[in-house]
């Protein structure tokens, strides 16, 4: 399948086991439903992912100190005969995220081109699904690079804050950690959910944010499975403060996950 008509997940592997596997499987099932794919056999996917995680963690495969990841993909099938969905699982060595966690990332705000209620008005655009159609996300990252940045925060055409091309946004505003709601067509973040669950002493939740709210935030993070919680150190060319202590707490929670 080379038309992007499929869904995928990527899970980090630690100590031979994929982290947050059940959350990733649940999101795979949700994305498949949005694309009207057959419901995935989660028992088979679970077994395949666990086997791949064990195999990629063998000493002769993974260098000492390296992190591994598992990517698992389900597509509608061959372009000619789409009667039988196909799937595959790939284990690979991942990059060490410790440097970007410590130094932060530079982001720019880009218009995604859809209203915040696109899931309700135009469900065929598949916002909120983790699909294989990633060309727009990659184009946004190239635009960020042209502007001297590393990453992107998308906003809707009517001004609401959404997510990154490969990450979920967390903002700290008035002492509360908030993230945009999935009803805005953003991908429900497994990493963000684990951060909110693990930082029990802070107020957390979803909130409808507009572009101006980002300027009110005293800290921003972009969260993903492979990198964890990465602080934003610059937004649209303006230097940003970031909380290294809370960042370290978030990533300690994430690195300790077992599933």
Q: What is the mean pLDDT of residues 226-238?
A: 96
Does the reported pTM lie above 0.75?
yes
Mean pLDDT value across residues 176-204: 95
pLDDT at 61 over 70: no
Percent of the chain scoring above 70 in pLDDT:
94
Q: How confident is the model at residue 7 (pLDDT cuts 50, 70, 90)?
A: very high
Q: Taking the CB of residue 173, how many other CB atoms lie within 10 A of it? A: 16
Burial of 256 (0-12, 13-18, 19+ CB in 10 A): exposed
Q: How high does pLDDT run on average in the chain?
A: 92
Which pLDDT score, from 0 to 100, does residue 233 have? 97
pLDDT for 241 equals 87
> pLDDT tens, 211-224?
999 999 999 999 99
CA 215 to mean position of chain CA atoms: 23
Give phi and psi for 212, each to the nearest 5: -65, -25
For residue 2, the tally of other CB atoms under 10 A from its CB is 8
pLDDT at 1 over 70: no
3-state class (DSSP) for residue 246: helix
Q: pLDDT at residue 104 above 70?
A: yes
């Amino acid at each position: 399948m080379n038309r992007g008509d499929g869904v995928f997940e990527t899970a980090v592997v630690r100590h031979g086991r994929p982290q947050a596997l059940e959350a990733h499987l649940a999101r795979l099932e949700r994305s498949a439903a949005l694309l009207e794919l057959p419901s995935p056999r989660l028992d088979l996917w679970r077994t395949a992912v666990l086997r791949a995680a064990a195999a990629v963690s063998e000493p002769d495969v993974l260098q000492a100190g390296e992190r591994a990841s598992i990517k698992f993909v389900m597509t509608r099938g061959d372009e000619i005969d789409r009667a039988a969905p196909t799937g595959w699982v790939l284990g690979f060595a991942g990059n060490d995220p410790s440097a970007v966690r410590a130094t932060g990332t530079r982001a720019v705000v880009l218009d995604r081109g859809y209203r915040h209620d696109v899931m309700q008005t135009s469900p065929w655009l598949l916002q909120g699904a983790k699909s294989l159609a990633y060309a727009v996300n990659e184009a946004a990252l190239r635009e960020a690079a042209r502007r001297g940045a590393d990453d992107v925060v998308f906003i809707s055409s009517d001004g609401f804050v959404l997510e990154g091309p490969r990450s979920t946004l967390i903002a700290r505003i008035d002492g509360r950690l908030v993230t945009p709601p999935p009803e805005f067509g953003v991908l429900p973040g497994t990493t963000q959910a684990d951060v909110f669950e693990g930082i029990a002493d802070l107020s957390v939740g979803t909130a409808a944010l507009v572009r101006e709210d980002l300027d009110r935030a005293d800290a921003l993070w972009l969260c993903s499975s492979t990198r964890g919680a990465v602080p934003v150190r610059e937004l649209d060319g303006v230097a940003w403060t970031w909380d290294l202590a809370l960042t370290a707490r978030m990533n300690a929670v994430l690195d300790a996950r077992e599933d």
